Amino acid sequence: MTTYSIVIADDHTLLRDALAELIRGVGGFDVAAAVGDAPGAVAMAAEHRPDVLLMDIEMPGNEDPGRTVRAVQAASPDTKIMVLTMHDDPRLLQSLLPLGIRGYLHKTATHHSLVAALRDACSQDGLTVSLPPRPKAEVPPEPEPARHTLSPREVEVVTLVAAGLSNRGAATQLGLTEGTIKRHLRNIFAKLGAVSRVDAVNKAVVAGLIAPPSAAPRRLRPPLG
């Protein structure tokens, strides 16, 4: 059985140790290192080249999370980055999605959700997002629309892609041919400047073109077909 290596970066010692114990207790994972600051996360990523870096946002040296993400990607390009945080501001999520993170989980997520997200990040090019519900009064203003707005049909297509449907599944759902779905996807990629299905979903979320993440984890994956 394949064993995936994990590096944990969180400045709370008790939580860091608990996460390490949890992950080590699950078959198929090994914790290569556990550190308490952003420079340590970058250094351990460079040294161990882990499959996943599980990273807190609010820790020493991480004043600019985007810079840390880019530094890890430069040090270990194949490492998938998952954010585990108490921050529930969708704007922070929207700033990190375009950088290619593979997970954004609130610390209220269950152990099962965390393990499932780790498995998805290790085994396929997917994205798992989990945020707690926000009171209506705290919902930030709607993002500005994308420069090139998607048509209603294109929004339907990218929404189905976000739900994990293949081209064939989306075609069946909408009563279209696979060729038509592929044409819509080409148009979506061009309008959003996307290079993949996951990138298109990320950019559609950031632009406010499809529904923002809900409290339940959503796994976005590029299916076969």
Does 30 score more than 60 pLDDT? yes
* Secondary structure of residue 75 in the 3-state scheme: helix
Contacts of 28 (CB under 8 A, 6+ apart): 1, 2, 3, 4, 119
Shared-domain flag, residues 131 and 156? no
Question: Do 87 and 26 lie in a common domain?
Answer: yes
* Whether residues 57 and 106 fall in one domain: yes
Range of the domain at 160: 152-212
E strand or H helix at 122: helix 111-123
The answer, yes or no, to whether residue 134 has pLDDT greater than 60, is no
- Whichever domain contains 176, its CATH number is 1.10.10.10
Q: What is the mean pLDDT of residues 95-100?
A: 85
200 and 96 share a domain? no
Phi and psi at residue 78, to the nearest 5°: -90, -5
Is pLDDT at 22 greater than 80 in this prediction? yes
Mark whether 21 and 125 lie in a shared domain: yes
Domain boundary among 135, 161, 192: 135
Rounded CA separation 88/123 (Å): 26
The pLDDT value recorded for residue 59 is: 92
Same domain as 170, residue 114: no
Long-range contacts of 211-217 (CB under 8 A, 24+ apart): 211/159, 212/90, 213/90, 213/93, 213/104, 213/129, 213/130, 213/131, 214/131, 214/133, 215/130, 215/131, 215/132, 215/133, 216/130, 217/105, 217/109, 217/113, 217/116, 217/117, 217/128, 217/129, 217/130
219 lies in a domain?
no
Q: Based on the domain organization, do 49 and 157 belong to the same domain?
A: no
Mean pLDDT for the chain overall:
83
CATH of the domain at 105: 3.40.50.2300
| Residue-level pLDDT at 219 | 47
116/201 same-domain check: no
Among 91, 109, 135, give the residue marking a domain's end: 135
Asked whether residue 221 is assigned to any structural domain, the reply reads no
Within this chain, do residues 59 and 128 fall inside the same structural domain, yes or no?
yes
**Angle at alpha carbon of residue 92, lines to 88 and 94, rounded to 5°:** 115
Average pLDDT for 132-148: 51
Higher pLDDT, 62 or 220: 62
Question: Model confidence over 175-225: pLDDT tens digits?
Answer: 999 999 999 999 998 888 888 887 788 888 888 888 754 433 444 444 444
**Portion of the chain with pLDDT greater than 90, in percent:** 42
Mean pLDDT along residues 154-183: 89
Least confident of 1-15, 45-59, 154-168: 154-168
What is the percentage of the chain residues whose pLDDT exceeds 70? Answer: 84
Same domain, 89 and 169: no
Domain count, the chain: 2
And the tokens for 14? 């008790």
Let me know whether 96 and 28 are in one domain. yes
Q: What pLDDT is attached to residue 19?
A: 93
Last residue of a domain, one of 108, 135, 162: 135
Least reliable range by pLDDT among 39-43, 113-117, 136-140: 136-140
| Distance, CA of 159 to CA of 210 (rounded, Å) | 6
Q: Do residues 129 and 202 both lie within one domain?
A: no
